[in-house]
Amino acid sequence: MKTNDLVQIIVYFGSLVLLVPVLGTYLAQVFDGRRHWFTPAFNRLEQWLYRLAGIDPSVETNWKQYAVTLLLFNAWGFAALLSLQLCQGLLPLNPQHMPKLPFWLAFNTAVSFMTNTNWQAYSGEAVMSYLTQMLGLTVQNFLSAGTGMSVLLAFSRGFIRVNTDKIGNFYSDLVKTILYILLPLSCLFALVLVGQGVVQSFHLYHAMTTLEGQNDLIPLGPAASQIAIKQLGTNGGGFFGVNCAHPFENPTPFSNYLEMLALLLIPASSVYMFGLMVKNRRHGWCLFGVMLVILIAGFAAAWWAETHLNPVTGLSGWMEGKETRFGVMNSVLWGTATTAASNGSVNAMHDSFSPLAGLILLVNMMLGEIIFGGVGSGLYGMLLFVLLTVFLAGLMVGRTPEYLGKKIEAREMVWVIMGILISGAVIVTGTALACLLPSTKASLANGGPHGFSEVLYAFASAGANNGSAFAGLNADTFFFNIALAVAMLLGRFGVILPVLALSSALGLKKITPPNSGTFPTNGVTFMVVLGGVILIVGALTFFPVLLLGPVADHFLMMSGRTF
């Protein structure tokens, strides 16, 4: 272990822990309606936006009305992005004269960015105009992240309120999230990235002659503005095809550190915000602690696996697929964080990771993207596991389970189980279907268990709304464009709808004061049980497919065999 690597790890996780209460307090101020840093600057703009759209932010809805509004809004965003891609050849800000995208690729991309997945079966600088990247992809990065935070706010109100099925106003939640959080943070971060050398330009691609005497083009574009929100909004879609391994997206070690920090910052701070909103800060820290411990444990295991001796190559710390600017540790840390945070951006090619390191990345996504997950979506996914944990604890002591004073009964558990299992069902079913098709073999870069892992990773990434890729699978085919789009839709809205239903169900209940039979959720016992439930559910669901993929791949590698 190099001292420099250890220092970077301490600085990274230390910065995260220090910033979480600062940003978390600000988030709570925004959504509680209290005065905060940006109230003087944006309050009038917020009210003007409501008047312009004809929205009364004081009118709240039940979960069905909230869900319909959310679905219709996202459908309009999907249609707008799809149309933009199909018409980009006729629109301005297209200096390289990019033609329209093929329909099914455009369909997959529109679904991907609308669901906060940002799965990319294309290389941005080769097929996307500047207008499509800015007006289409970047705008959707704001809207999809805002949607996730809105659902979290609605869910939180279910724990706070009593005897009401009203869970808030979707448009008000969305506007507050974008106007007071995502927009100012993204503007500030974009300026910092430009200062580090991230490109932000409308010029034509620059012609050059390489050292070998070959003519080539250096791609340019308004990248910094998209990189800022893709990291802060846990979107992950790269302006360039190789994402944050590209020097124009991630030019320096400092930009690498900042972009890694940004992808966890809002999801982690939301946990602290939740503790403040439910008037139980200690519980918020307990949830944060469970997430952080699982994240660090996963990183440690992946780092060990990636630096372990590879008997096939006879080397340890294998650099294939990694940026020499950042090295093995930063590649593994980014890969662990981005798959835990539902971000999906990469600074290395995950297909080149060792089998066990790849297994950790898969498990992060298969757990439901709850460590720390996406903006909003990570925490409401974790809260489903919390409800399952307290329900199981209640059964063990023979009492009606309670969480934050709300009794958790059979009706609520139906929605909880639906929300937890939908992603796993999508991943396993999609992988099985793909493996049955003979055409899938032509899309693989590798055979054997590693090739199976490529397919499994694609559906795990889509079903968990992560968006990262193993980088060994050709996903721009008719089947994968359709199948992965369906997986993204089910993985996103198949969880959102049960969560919203739970919000109204919980809001109708009264708050029961804790008593001697209440399972405490503020201590180490709760943290251990919660962590155990998360890992057991993940293990029971995905153990067979992990055996067929990365586990088998590891043992074959240790015996010196390759495919």
Q: Is the pLDDT of residue 210 over 80?
A: no
Q: Give residues with Cβ within 8 angstroms of 48, minimum separation 6.
A: none
Two structure tokens written together for 248: 């124009």
Run of H or E including 218 = strand 215-218
pLDDT at 128: 94
pLDDT in tens, 109-141: 999 999 999 999 888 899 999 999 999 999 999
The whole-angstrom distance between residue 300's C-alpha and the CA centroid of its chain comes to 21
Is there a contact between 434 and 459 (Cβ–Cβ < 8 Å)?
yes
**Beta-carbon neighbour count of residue 334 at 10 Å?**
27
The tokens of 414 are what?
């139906």
pTM of the model: 0.94
Q: Is 371 a residue whose pLDDT tops 70?
A: yes
Give kind and range of the element (H or E) at residue 217. strand 215-218
Cis peptide leading into 372, omega within 30 of 0?
Answer: yes
CA distances from 483 to 237, 255, 362, 459, 486 (A): 19, 35, 19, 9, 5
Rounded distance between C-alpha atoms, residue 520 and residue 79, angstroms = 47
User: Quick check: helix, strand or coil at residue 1?
Assistant: coil
Q: What pLDDT, in 10s, does the model give residues 498-544?
A: 999 999 999 999 988 877 777 888 889 999 999 999 988 877 889 99
First CA to last CA distance, the chain: 31
Tell me which residue of 127, 125, 123 sits closest to 89, measured CA to CA.
127
Q: Can you give the three-state secondary structure of 232-278, one letter per residue?
A: HCCCCCCCCCCHHHCCCCCCCHHHHHHHHHHHHHHHHHHHHHHHHHC
Structure confidence at residue 47 as a pLDDT band (50, 70, 90): very high
Instruction: Tell me the per-residue pLDDT of 51-100, one tens digit each, with 9 for 90 and over.
Output: 998 999 999 999 999 999 999 999 999 999 999 999 999 999 999 999 99
Distance between CA 486 and CA 223 in Å, rounded? 29
Q: Give 254 or 214, the one with higher predicted confidence.
A: 254
| pLDDT reading at 449 higher than 80 | yes
The 3 state secondary structure assigned to 393-453 is: HHHHHCCCCEECCEECCHHHHHHHHHHHHHHHHHHHHHHHHHHHCHHHHHHECCCHHHHHH
How far is residue 288's CA from residue 21's CA, in Å, rounded to a whole number? 11
Helix, coil or strand: residue 478: helix
More confident residue, 228 or 35: 228
User: 253-277 vs 223-232: helix axis angle to the nearest 10?
Assistant: 40
Q: Which of 204-213, 314-323, 509-518 has the lowest mean pLDDT?
A: 314-323
Grade residue 489 by pLDDT with cuts at 50, 70 and 90.
very high
Q: How confident is the model at residue 1 (pLDDT cuts 50, 70, 90)?
A: low
d(CA 354, CA 550): 9
CB count, 10 Å around CB of 543?
10
Q: Assess contact for 379 and 270: CB atoms under 8 A.
A: yes
Ranges 151-155, 212-216, 478-482: which has the least confidence: 212-216
Q: pLDDT at position 311, please?
A: 77
Residue 408 has pLDDT above 80, yes or no: yes
d(CA 320, CA 445): 15
What pLDDT does residue 374 have? 92
For residues 339-352, one letter each, b for 16 or more C-beta atoms within 10 angstroms of the residue's C-beta and e for the rest, the string is bbbbbbbbbbbbbb
Residue 545 above 80 pLDDT? Answer: yes
DSSP-derived secondary structure for 277-294: HTT-HHHHHHHHHHHHHH
Mean pLDDT, all residues of the chain: 92
Between CA 220 and CA 242 the distance in angstroms is 14
Q: What is the DSSP string of 196-210?
A: HT--B--SPPEEEE-
